[in-house]
Amino acid sequence: MNRLTRIAAGAAGAAALLAVPTQAGAAQSSATTTTTTVTTCGYGGLQAGVWTAVCADVTGTDVQLYGRISLAGPPSPGGPPLETRDLITGLSGQIVGGASLGSVSGYTRFTASTVKVTGVGGTVPCGSTVHGSFSVAGYPWGPSPVTLDVVVPC
């Protein structure tokens, strides 16, 4: 075998080896379905001196609701340190015209970092609308719930 014949044979062999994994990968990717998570948040609102919002993570027909608490604005430079606050929080969700997805309530400690309140959600029929509500209260302020309505796609 001369040198040119060996190079041609090597190139043909390499092409054959490279073609097999590509075809196998294509067959595998068409059989595998990936489900992405879509996060939707409602309009935020000021409650008990903090900024709040209710959000939903939708993965297929699974919906997980959560409330988010954060600072209403940047802290004052050189100002006093932010005090830790115990807030009374409530998170609830339901399928509009249907079953409850649950509710959680209790005390949530907040200083300056964003806090998530979780624990409400479940599997929902596709095409349904899910309603979520999140409330925060802290002396001397009462709650002023923020809400979200999200449609679960089919």
Least confident residue range of 13-17, 42-46, 116-120, 143-147? 13-17
Q: Which amino acid is located at 60 in the chain? A: G
71, two tokens? 């600072």
Ramachandran category for residue 48: left, alpha or beta (phi over 0 → left; psi -120 to 50 → alpha): left
Yes or no: say if 121 and 131 are a contact pair by the CB < 8 Å rule: no
Q: How far apart are CA 138 and CA 142, in angstroms?
A: 7
Q: How far apart are CA 115 and CA 34, in angstroms?
A: 29
Least confident residue range of 11-15, 101-105, 117-121, 125-129? 11-15
| Angle (CA) 67 68 72, round 5° | 140
pLDDT, residue 112, reads 84
pLDDT tens digits along 51-72: 999 999 999 999 999 999 998 8
How many angstroms from the chain centroid is the CA of residue 15?
A: 44
- Please say if the pLDDT value at position 6 is more than 70: no
Q: How far apart are CA 121 and CA 50, in angstroms?
A: 24
Yes or no: say if 128 and 39 are a contact pair by the CB < 8 Å rule: no
Q: Give the single-character DSSP code of 45.
A: E
* Strand blocks (E) in the chain: 37-41, 45-47, 50-59, 62-70, 85-95, 100-110, 115-123, 129-137, 146-151
Q: To which H or E segment does residue 25 belong?
A: helix 3-31
Least confident residue range of 11-25, 51-65, 121-135? 11-25
